[in-house]
Structure 1
Amino acid sequence: MDRFSIIKELGSGSYGTISKAVCMQSGEVVAIKKLKTRYRSWESCMNLREVKTLRAMNHSSIIKLKEVIMEHGELHFVFEYMECDLFQVMKNRRNVPFSEAEVRMWCFQIFEGLAHMHNRGYFHRDLKPENLLASNDDIKIADLGMAREVDSHPLFTDHVTTRWYRAPEILLGSPIYGPPVDMWAMSAIMAELFILRPLFPGSSGADEIHKISCVIGSPTKSEWPEGLELAKAMNYKLLVSIFATLMPGISEDAIDLITSLCSWNPSKRPTAIETLRHPFFQSCYHVQPSLNYKDALQSSPHPGTWHLAIKDRSIMA
């Protein structure tokens, strides 16, 4: 760690602190995440979920972990440095809407990153604007500490994902879920980019389900019978859709994509690779249906120079 000079602290939370630093040997600016938990062995550090997940990822739309340093039981993650997160970008707009071109450009990159992550057998579980790091036209997925492997089969906790971006199956207590929860979160984030306010700003788990019901209506028995049973068990009463009235002036393609992503039934949400083929992204790099996952990801254009900032916002549970 004596190779780095700390410039300033960027944020702190229950996990530890994140600082902006410079490598005195190369002059490179980096972000260093110092964990509060102390570790006795290098093996225990390498088995941390965030480390294992990041080591499995290699994509321009996913934050790069450059080094892991352990000194005196203290663990430091050295990341590439970036300027700001998507929450800050939206906050700085001061109610000036983003253009569809801007939303398209950012979301396409995020879905590319998710396609890579899901194809590698992981899902994020905590997508929110604060975990999407932006610089100008570029954006990256960050904070993979809550990520899980798709093929792991324990009963997953429902205390994941900031509530406003939490999928209905999690809110209704389903112990088994997977990559579709990331797609749900992206529907809320994409809508928020258009309207500059949260789409489902629930104050509790029950209120979150109520907010979702108010926006997209109740699922029918044919659409999601399992969800209706979960809702019945928790005494939730669901409502009728007003979704189309919330985003006037938005293109039909954008509305269609967001609507499909926030389907009640997880199995009916498009995958990340299917989303990249949606007409909304027609003007971006187009993933041909004949391409398989690896071909599509290898053919994808790489964004240019990246910069970033990391901001801590506690998970609402």
Structure 2
Amino acid sequence: MSASSFRDTTDPNYEEVAVIGTGAYGTVYKARDLKNDGAIVAMKRIRIQNTEEGMPMSAIREIALLKQLENYEHPNIVRLLDVKHTQQSPSEIRLLLVFEYIDQDLAMYLERCPNPGLGPDRIRDLMQQLLNGVDFLHAHRIVHRDLKPQNILVTSQGQVKLADFGLARVYGFQMALTSVVVTLWYRAPEVILQDTYATPVDLWSCGCIFAELFNRRPFFCGQTDIDQLNKIFEILGLPRESDWPENVTLPWNSFKLLPPQPIGKFIPEICQDGKDLIEKLLSFNPHHRISAHDALNHSYFRDELDSVRTSSSLSVSESDSLDTSDCRSDTPVSK
């Protein structure tokens, strides 16, 4: 959706070019940075409800942390270039976040990839970059809490960059949403059950995304909280009662006793190491779920196994020409 170019009334340094998207919390624009030779940036405007003392302290802490991360210039984290805020009214603050501009997210990347889809080395490379970014956030005590293909950007060189991290508390993650449908598809069971949660929620999302890289469609597509849990249990089986969180509204015995199904039945192209990794990512019990650091050291990513995988897949992929699509390129992006 395009918009006529105009200066940002709150900051004359930026000129809006087009609307990229509109959500529950604000609007994202493609814009020109006029103080930097008109460089293209992504500009996100967020509405924050004021407390009596001004901007909520949680929002200030999160934004300060995001700015601090810029010092590391991590290759798998989108760059935050500028932060501004203005008092819109006594009850509302407008926050302006300026990021590097990347013109596609993972959802678009998968949509644009022609049949037969991503090659096994490309999937491995994308997952390794995704987990690198998540591991970096977790090492700095940031839980993304909303990992999904729309929040994972992919540059034209195939570099993965996580976006929208650390903003969950700024937005108010548990706030009641009226006109906006929140996607449940990548949400960990402990979040759906409204139990306490921490960094493992992001690894669950990584597991869902891992499956989607193979199938090019979401793995668990529930319409409601209960439907989402049912979709999960239809594939992974109902967990043991001892793994069910205490003091949650939905009891364990309100769900059918279902056995786990073989992952290969739903993701036929996944290798044995990949099956093991996805099962560890999609562990119902967050205490048993693999960490980002351990996932990066999983045998699925070990270089010495590459030749075995390549030779075993030649019969399937010999006809896949590398120049048919950048998607199927087996050249990994440098980490």
Q: Which TM bucket (shorter chain)?
A: 0.7 to 0.9
Structure 1 residue runs of 5 or longer lacking an equivalent are: 150-155, 285-301, 305-317
RMSD value, Cα: 3.2
Structure 2 residue corresponding to 1:52, chosen from 64, 88, 94 = 64
* Alignment pair present for 1:120 and 2:140: yes
Give the TM-score of the pair, scaled to structure 2: 0.74
Report % sequence identity. 33
Distance 1:63 1:178, change over 3 A: same
Offset of residue 97 of structure 1: 1.7
Retained in 2: the 8 A contact 1:122–1:147?
no
Match for 1:192: what amino acid?
Answer: E
Q: Deviation digits for residues 17-60 of structure 1, max 9, x if unmatched?
A: 11111222322221111224487999728851651341243422
- The 2-side partners of 1:35 and 1:44 are apart by 12
The match for 1:77 is 97
For 1:219-298, what aligned pairs fall within 5 Å after superposition? Answer: 219-221=239-241, 224-226=243-245, 232=251, 235-242=254-261, 243-283=263-303
Map 1:153-232 to 2 at 5 A: 157=174, 162-174=183-195, 176-221=196-241, 224-226=243-245, 232=251
Residue matched to 1:142: 163
* Partner secondary structure for residue 76 of structure 1: strand
Give 2:82's match in structure 1, choosing from 67, 79, 91: 67
- The 1:75–1:226 alpha-carbon spacing in structure 2 relative to 1, beyond 3 Å, is closer
Q: Provide the rounded CA distance (Å) in 2 between the counterparts of 1:281 and 1:169.
A: 28
Distance 2:230 2:300 in 1: 29
Q: CA deviation at 1:281?
A: 1.2
Distance 1:240 1:47, change over 3 A: closer
- 1:98 equivalent to 2:108? Answer no
Post-superposition offset of 1:177: 0.9
Ranked by relative contact order (alpha carbons within 8 Å, sequence separation 6 or more), the top structure is 1
1:130-174: per-residue Cα shift (whole Å, max 9, x none)?
01011131111111254469xxxxxx8498973011111222231
Q: Which residue of 1 aligns with 2:20?
A: 10
Match of 2:81, SS state, is: strand
Shift of 1:7: 1.8
**Alpha carbons of 1:45 and 1:158: their partners in 2 closer, same or farther (altered >3 Å)?**
closer
Q: CA deviation at 1:10?
A: 0.9
Structure 1 equivalent of residue 3 of structure 2: none
SS of equivalent residue, structure 1 residue 266: coil
Taking a change above 3 Å as real, the CA distance of residues 233 and 275 of structure 1, as seen in their structure-2 partners, is closer
Unaligned runs of 5+ in 2: 1-10, 89-93, 305-332
Match of 1:35 in 2: 46
Letter in 1 for 2:197: Y
TM superposition score normalised by structure 1: 0.78
* Alignment: residue pair count: 280
Which structure 1 residue ranges, 4+ long, deviate > 6 Å from structure 2?
Answer: 38-43, 158-161, 227-230
